[in-house]
Amino acid sequence: MTTSLIITTYNWVEALELVFLSILQQSILPDEVIVADDGSSIKTKKLIEKYQDFFPIELHHFWQEDDGFRAASARNGAIRMSQGSYLILIDGDMVLHPLFVEDHLSFAKEGAFLQGSRVLIDKEKTLEIIYSKKITFSFYQKGLSNRKNAIHMKCLASLCSGYRSTIQGIKSCNFSLHRTDAYKVNGFNEAFVGWGREDSEFAVRLMNAGIKRRDLKFHAIAYHLYHPENTRKSLPQNDEKLQSAIDKKMVWCTEGLQ
């Protein structure tokens, strides 16, 4: 099974570099990394080119014009560019546990998508990490919220990782699925513009297609750097699109991968 790690980013090179550093520390490297760039400036391009010179795996850059928050479109562009049979999706502010990729692959199963665990880092700790570029974390460190999510333990992961039939807590910042399943529902819905709900709507259509949701606990851990919240002004319209997908039991979106 070949693996593509897709990173969504927008104009935050300091965070993206930390993500790259955490990829280099993985116990199992993905076969390729693709940056899904939602219209960043030349700084992001230069950072990617810098790491392309010595990255041990293929590092690709998908870029689209900056025309508002279009994460769904950026992810689809990266998925089209990807070659892996298994896709792991993260955001460009998610620093990965060294076993992150290995964990996703160990739980990967036909007919299921995976939601990984997220540890929140406060503002002060985030600034410290960006300055020092030290990305080694422990359960006891200051600056971690919901720190129980920082526990990595195989026996607990096997016991507590289970299937769910709701979309509560869906976040594509730590998410994986088979490439064929992404194409089965035509990927993310590019009608979603502005922050919010494009990942939940994607999950709804996957589940409507018979693809089960499995949440990983105490495995597939990523550390979410602090940043100010995005504007919620598009949320009412996006909530309507999400509800429509639920009510109509949608599987396919017309503005998607194909």
Q: What is the pLDDT of residue 200?
A: 97
Return the amino acid letter for 110: E
Q: What is the pLDDT of residue 233?
A: 86
Is residue 252 included in any domain, yes or no? Answer: no
Handedness of CA 212, 218, 224, 230 (dihedral sign): positive
Handedness of CA 196, 171, 101, 108 (dihedral sign): negative
Is residue 27 included in any domain, yes or no? Answer: yes
pLDDT-derived band at 232 (thresholds 50, 70, 90) equals confident
**By mean pLDDT, which of 57-66, 94-103, 233-242 is the weakest?**
233-242
pLDDT-derived band at 26 (thresholds 50, 70, 90) equals very high
Q: Is the confidence at residue 160, as pLDDT, over 90?
A: no
Token readout for 94 is 């998610």
Is residue 256 included in any domain, yes or no? Answer: no
Q: CA-to-CA distance for 193 and 187, rounded, in angstroms? A: 15
Q: Give the mean pLDDT of the chain.
A: 95
pLDDT-derived band at 154 (thresholds 50, 70, 90) equals confident
- Enter the pTM of the model: 0.97
Is residue 38 included in any domain, yes or no? Answer: yes
pLDDT-derived band at 29 (thresholds 50, 70, 90) equals very high
> Could you tell me what percent of the chain has a pLDDT over 70?
100
**Side-chain-side CA neighbours of residue 16 (13 Å):** 25
**By mean pLDDT, which of 15-24, 45-54, 74-83, 189-198 is the weakest?**
189-198
Helix (H) or strand (E) holding 34: strand 32-37
Are the C-beta atoms of 63 and 45 separated by less than 8 Å? yes
Return the amino acid letter for 172: S
CA distances from 26 to 89, 226, 250 (A): 15, 22, 37
Q: Residue 51 sits in a domain of what CATH number?
A: 3.90.550.10
Is residue 254 included in any domain, yes or no? Answer: no
- Split into its structural domains, the chain has a count of 1
Is residue 8 included in any domain, yes or no? Answer: yes
Mean pLDDT for the stretch of residues 12-27: 98
Q: CA-to-CA distance for 256 and 75, rounded, in angstroms? A: 10
Q: How far from each other are the two terminal CA atoms of the chain, in whole angstroms?
A: 23
Is residue 205 included in any domain, yes or no? Answer: yes
Q: What sections of 82-146 are H helices per DSSP?
A: 100-107, 123-132
pLDDT-derived band at 157 (thresholds 50, 70, 90) equals confident
Mean pLDDT for the stretch of residues 234-248: 95
Residue 144 is given by DSSP the state: B
Q: What is the pLDDT of residue 130?
A: 97
Q: What is the pLDDT of residue 230?
A: 80
pLDDT-derived band at 171 (thresholds 50, 70, 90) equals very high
Is residue 255 included in any domain, yes or no? Answer: no
Q: CA-to-CA distance for 133 and 112, rounded, in angstroms? A: 35
Q: Which domain holds residue 21?
A: 3-247
